[in-house]
Amino acid sequence: MSQVFEGYERQYCELSANLTKKCNSATILDGEQKKQKVSEIKAGLDDAEALIRKMDLEARSLPPNVKATLLAKLREYKSDLNNLKTEVKRITSGNANQAARDELLESGMADANMVSADQRQRLMMSTDRLNRSSDRIRDSRKTMLETEDLGVSILQDLHQQRQSLLHAHDTLHGVDDNISRSKKILTTMSRRMSRNKWIIGTIIVVLVLAILLVLYFKLAH
């Protein structure tokens, strides 16, 4: 999750809790004190709106899987801000008589505290759920990256093995060529030896016949 978004988120939660307390205290004030408190609340609402806009811009600049999670969380904060604005309008438009205001004071404060506490509880639960979802997304991305690294390593090993096999094939091909050349040389030598044997045999026969003829002529005379 974006650290920038988390910083804005912490600021907003603190500001929202502070504005809720000021709204509760403003309901029991009168005159200038009430006006001053309402002015403080409105200034805080402006700051809260600015934080909402910053969170929205930051969330939309992130990758889609993270953006969807943060925008869902942002909708909760916008709902909380609208509730605060409604509460301020109720405080500023309260020009009813003092008796009605006193009558509604205790129930109004109790309801406001209950709504605020319930809203904060829902926001905390939503934040926890979104944080768990973000953790699962982060773990899934980590697993995906590890799997990708493993796949790259396997492909590199396979490439090296392929290169080794190609080298071995080339070596065997060279050995086969050498064997073929050696076989041709041996065949040529064998043919020459056979031819030389015939030549030598022929010479021997001719010599024997010549010797016999010489002996015949000598013995005949």
CA distance 35 to 32: 5
Residue 54, Cβ neighbours under 10 Å: how many? 16
Q: Please check whether residue 66 is in contact with residue 109, taking contact to mean a CB–CB distance below 8 angstroms.
A: no
184 is a domain residue: no
Residue 201 lies in a domain: no
Chain centroid to Cα 92, Å, comes to 51
Residue 77 lies inside a defined structural domain of this protein: yes
Estimate to the nearest angstrom the gap between the alpha carbon of 163 and the chain centroid.
Answer: 31
Q: Which of 6, 10, 151 is nearest to 66 (CA)?
A: 6
Mean pLDDT of 49-63: 91
Q: Is 126 within a domain? A: no
**Number of domains within the chain:** 1
pLDDT band at 54, cuts 50/70/90? Answer: very high
Asked, for residue 21, whether it belongs to a domain, the answer is: yes
Domain contains 32: yes
The pTM of this model reads: 0.43
CATH number at residue 23: 1.20.58.400
**Contact at 8 Å (CB) between 45 and 88?**
yes
If one compares 121 and 39, the residue with the highest pLDDT of the two is 39
Segments forming the whole domain that contains residue 66: 1-97
Q: How far apart are alpha carbons 12 and 81 in whole angstroms?
A: 10
Distance CA 164, CA 144 (A): 30
CA distance 150 to 157: 11
3-state secondary structure of 162: helix
Calpha distance 123→132 (Å, rounded): 14
Q: What is the pLDDT of residues 133-144, one digit of tens each?
A: 778 878 867 877
- 113 CB contacts (<8 Å, ≥6 apart)? 24
Using CA atoms, how far apart are residues 211 and 38, in angstroms rounded to an integer?
Answer: 150
8 located within any domain: yes
pLDDT value, residue 52? 93
| Domain contains 39 | yes
For residue 100, pLDDT beyond 50: no
Q: Which of 42-46, 119-123, 133-137, 146-150 has the lowest mean pLDDT?
A: 133-137
Nearest of 195, 168, 26, 39 to residue 108 by alpha carbon: 26
